[in-house]
């Protein structure tokens, strides 16, 4: 039995979880509503304040889906109660970020600024403190979407290994390389 898949998920107070006949799992909470379609082979049981996931057989596919859907549903529960947060750091001289509504205006050393459009599910804020690198803070209740948008922002200017310039996650460690040594 899957160690992850067999753990029950506790439904917090103020959260409602339902599963439709078309295997669409919906969670509503104080931070919003999320839905996930579940494979027809996997059974989701909602009883009282717990959710359990069951698989029909021990096939490799069923074992993989068992843990996957348990993790997705657990992330949905955390998302609608507390939400998720990702912090990006802009390292480089002249690198700046400004947030206006659902757009992020990035100055990343190119000849023009990059305007990045955010989905409506994500809230962003930019912080620029003196003596520190500018930071972008992204918040959402959908962990998958948040990670995808953060990765897309990071891909605009990945951290390079020589000076460490670029957009990185705040907890990311960039391995630095030694430059060319003097010739003679």
Residue 162 shares a structural domain with residue 139: yes
Specify the pTM.
0.88
Q: Which residue, 56, 81, 106, sits at the end of a domain?
A: 81
Domain presence at residue 88: yes
Q: Where residue 144 sits, what CATH number does that domain have?
A: 3.90.930.12
Do residues 149 and 137 lie in contact, with contact meaning Cβ atoms separated by under 8 Å? no
Question: In the chain, how long is the greatest CA-to-CA distance?
Answer: 76
Residue partners of 170: CB distance under 8 A and separation at least 6: 87, 88, 89, 135
Structural domain including 111 reads 84-169
Residue 139 shares a structural domain with residue 118: yes
Domain total in the chain: 2
Would you write out the chain's pLDDT as a tens digit for each of its 184 residues?
468 888 999 999 999 999 988 889 999 999 999 999 999 999 999 998 999 999 999 999 999 999 999 999 999 999 999 999 999 999 999 999 999 999 999 999 999 999 999 999 999 999 999 999 999 999 999 999 999 999 999 999 999 999 999 999 999 999 999 888 766 6
Residue 90 shares a structural domain with residue 161: yes
User: What angle is formed at CA 149 by the lines to CA 14 and CA 166, rounded to 5 degrees?
Assistant: 135
Domain presence at residue 28: yes
Residue 33 shares a structural domain with residue 96: no
Residue 67 shares a structural domain with residue 117: no
Q: Which residue, 23, 47, 81, sits at the end of a domain?
A: 81
Residue 65 shares a structural domain with residue 108: no
For residue 117, give both structure tokens: 């459009």
Looking at residue 180, its pLDDT comes to: 84
Residue 31 shares a structural domain with residue 59: yes
Residue 107 shares a structural domain with residue 158: yes
Looking at residue 179, its pLDDT comes to: 84
Domain presence at residue 144: yes
Looking at residue 56, its pLDDT comes to: 92
Domain presence at residue 118: yes
Looking at residue 118, its pLDDT comes to: 96
Q: Which residue, 81, 100, 119, sits at the end of a domain?
A: 81
For residue 38, give both structure tokens: 């579940």
SS3 assignment, position 135: strand
């Amino acid at each position: 039995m899957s160690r992850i898949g067999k753990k029950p998920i506790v439904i917090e107070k103020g959260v409602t979880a339902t599963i439709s006949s078309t295997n669409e799992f919906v969670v509503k909470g104080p931070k919003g509503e999320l839905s996930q379609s579940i494979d027809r082979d996997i059974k989701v049981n909602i009883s009282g304040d717990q959710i359990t996931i069951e698989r029909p057989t021990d096939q490799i596919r069923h074992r993989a889906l068992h843990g996957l859907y348990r993790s997705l549903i657990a992330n949905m529960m955390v998302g609608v109660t507390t939400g998720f947060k990702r912090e990006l750091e802009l390292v480089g001289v002249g690198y700046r970020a400004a947030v206006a509504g659902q757009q992020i205006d990035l100055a990343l050393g190119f000849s023009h600024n990059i305007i990045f459009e955010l989905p409506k599910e994500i809230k962003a804020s930019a912080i620029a403190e003196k003596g520190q690198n500018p930071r972008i803070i992204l918040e959402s209740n959908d962990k998958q979407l948040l990670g995808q948008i953060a990765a897309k922002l990071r891909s605009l200017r990945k951290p390079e290994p020589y000076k460490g310039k670029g957009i990185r996650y705040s907890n990311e460690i960039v391995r630095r390389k030694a430059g060319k040594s003097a010739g003679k």
